[in-house]
A and B are shown apart, each in its own frame.
Chain A
Amino acid sequence: MTLLAIENLCVELDGPDGTLRLLDDVNLFLSKGRCLGLVGESGCGKSMTALAIMGLLPRGMRASGRILLEGEDLLSIGEDRLCGLRGRKMAMVFQEPMTALNPVVPIGRQVAEGLRLHLGLTRHEAELRAGKMLARVGLPVERFPLGLFPHQLSGGQRQRVVIAMALTCGPDLLVADEPTTALDVTVQAQILDLIAELVEEFDMGLVLITHDLGVVAESTDTMSVMYAGKVVEDGPTDEVFQRMAHPYTRGLFAAMPSHSSDLDATRKRLTTIPGRVPDASSRPSGCPFVARCSFATDQCSDAPPPLERLAHRHSASCFNLSRVEGL
């Protein structure tokens, strides 16, 4: 069953030098109980997509297209209805646990707040349930009283609080925006495992934003590779990993350190993708990747390549797919 369908999502920002298109015709699809990985470099529009789903884009940004959550278009409903959905039907886990919590409010109250708001529980009932939820994410009340303040917790513990906060009302959709980027490597795995467990337990859909391909391989069913505000390749995770149809996807994989036991392979320098992501104000009229692509032809600079279907549910936008795959 379709949980989330994003159709032709564009996000625009009016700047001093005209309108900037930050997201360009993004299409995403997520079934209930599944996990969609959103991959790409910083500035490619991953977090922007997450904020668009939550209806929390910064002021001045305009979203167009459709974002359907269980058939309801989030872009056409009012703010009141959105407030009713946020935290109740859809929830978000943020990148920076150090700043995502209010420093002057005890953690118990921060977790209980959503329960009181959406389920109309009394303070006592809400705190009781908040305590259970905190225990579920690994912060039992005996060791972590509800009266603790965020500064008394470590980064990983705070991220657990953020997760508890997101899940306390049992949402159907969880958007996790680089939930482990700010954490120690050892803690990262714990938090990812916790999210995976909870997603299954609560039968949620998960949009997992990350730039870590290892994480994508391990925890997602489908994935979309984003570049400069566009989806350049998407499909079932294992298929994308196998074919790597788009040159940018190849570049990402090549830039990933390998864990192979082959000494020659590990001694090789890591490949990098030359250049940088073009700024939203200076994107080329053709393929956004053209300046950094070793397969680029004249055609690539003229018009953006359409998303081409490679297999059932797997597609990529590149004029030179056959040459890339021929390698």
Chain B
Amino acid sequence: MTLFLVKRLIMLAATLLVAAVVVFFVLEILPGDPALVMLGVSAQADTLAALRAEMGLDLPAWQRFTNWIGGVVTGELGRSYTYDVPVSELIGERVVVSLPLAVMALTLSTVIAIPLGVIAASRHNRTTDIALTGAAQIGIAISNFWFAILLILLFSVTLRWVPAGGFAGWDAGFWPAIQSLLLPAIALALPQAAILTRVTRSSVLEVLQEDFVRTARAKGLSRRAALWRHAVRNALIPVITILGLQFSFLLAGTIIIENVFYLPGLGRLLFQAIAQRDLIVVKDLVVLLAGTVVVVNFVVDLGYAVLDPRLRSGGGHV
């Protein structure tokens, strides 16, 4: 187990390093000079040079890379060009929007998808199954930003239940804050739930063919009891994998959804930072998001061991 952990941690660090290199050099290739953006196109050449020197932009690329990485490792993320505050402060402000949003969306999609998938499988090829599979197919086909606009039209414009956008802030109280995150979370969750429902369904269908389900029935368990007590836990192992993969799509989705709903989250920060050539913010955010994905996948690997005793160490024949 320790060896497994060490291996995974090395992998984690390596993945992050590669992500950092890629984002750094992609931004290097892209046109756009942050100093020019800050000063405007009419800036004097010497003022520009002075600012570039102050920002460290005149240094060779490898030196700027090592400076940046060194900063990231020691927790010194640099200073935003446009906001003129430490990037860590910016991220801190925004993460309290994005993290609850992602967690809500992930919870929502899991809570919807797993029972629906199991039910569809248990009613294989019958009306319920066909209806659920059809709905899931539509859910997969819908893009989340379009779906988000539909939600706004219905629940905000027509029914006036929840605000159409913006974030009340946690200072306004727990409930108003949750309310402003509810629609974005649903918009993010439903397409994910559709995929997850299909995965759960096919996984459960596969497990239901296994001998041990028949053994459970031979013991006297009803179809339903054999399904929930014996089949589902085995079926969740591949579902967990997809859940981990989906998390990265969820993060990508927040960038779009936060823009649709005007939520001051990390996704919107990233989007604005790219538009304003606030490169240090872009770099830090990308590494942060990559790090989150890698950590989530790591947690998923640990989840396997919880679900499947065969993956725990200390096994072997007696």
Contact = CB atoms under 8 A, between A and B. Distances in A.
A54 B221 CA distance: 12
A49 B233 CA distance: 30
B308 A86 contact: no
B160 interface: no
A76 interface: no
Contacts of B216: 102, 113
Interface string B210-248: 111011111111110000001001100000000000000
Contact of A99 (B210, B218, B221, B310): B210
B interface SS class: helix
Interface stretch (A13-21, A143-151, A251-259, A291-299): A143-151
Contacts of A102: 212, 215-216, 230, 234
Given A103-B309, A148-B318, A94 B220 contact: no
Interface string A145-166: 0001101111001000010011
B318 A99 contact: no
Contact of B309 (A86, A92, A104, A157): A104
A113 B219 contact: yes
A86 B220 contact: yes
B237 to A, nearest CB: 8
A83 B222 contact: yes
B7 interface: no
Interface in A156-201: 157, 162, 165-166
Given A102-B234, A104-B234, A153-B318, A54 B219 contact: no
Interface string A30-60: 0000000000000000000000001010000
B218 A91 contact: yes
B31 interface: no
Nearest to B315: A152
A118 B221 CA distance: 10
A94 B219 contact: no
A118 B309 contact: no
A96 interface: yes
B317 A154 contact: yes
A114 interface: yes
B230 A117 contact: no
Contact of B310 (A148, A151, A154, A165): A151
B309 A149 contact: yes
A94 B308 contact: no
B112 interface: no
Contact of A83 (B220, B233, B317): B220
B211 A96 contact: yes
B309 A99 contact: no
A5 interface: no
Contacts of A153: 317-318
Given A152-B315, A152-B318, A54 B310 contact: no
A87 B215 CA distance: 10
B307 interface: yes
Interface string A76-105: 000110011111100110101001111111
A104 B218 contact: no
Nearest to A149: B309
A103 B219 contact: no
Nearest to B211: A99
Interface in B228-279: 230, 233-234
A221 to B, nearest CB: 24
A105 to B, nearest CB: 7
A294 B212 CA distance: 42
A92 B214 CA distance: 10
A251 to B, nearest CB: 31
A99 B222 contact: no
Nearest to B316: A152
A56 B230 CA distance: 16
B262 to A, nearest CB: 45
B318 A114 contact: no
Given A151-B309, A153-B318, A83 B221 contact: yes
A162 B223 CA distance: 20
Contacts of A96: 211
Interface of B: 210-212, 214-223, 230, 233-234, 307-310, 315-318
Given A85-B220, A94-B214, A117-B221, 17 more contacts: A56-B217, A84-B220, A86-B218, A87-B219, A92-B218, A94-B215, A99-B212, A100-B211, A101-B212, A102-B230, A104-B234, A113-B219, A114-B220, A118-B220, A149-B310, A152-B318, A157-B318
19 contacts: A54-B218, A80-B222, A83-B220, A85-B220, A88-B220, A94-B214, A94-B215, A100-B214, A101-B215, A103-B212, A103-B309, A104-B234, A104-B309, A148-B318, A152-B317, A154-B317, A157-B318, A162-B215, A166-B218
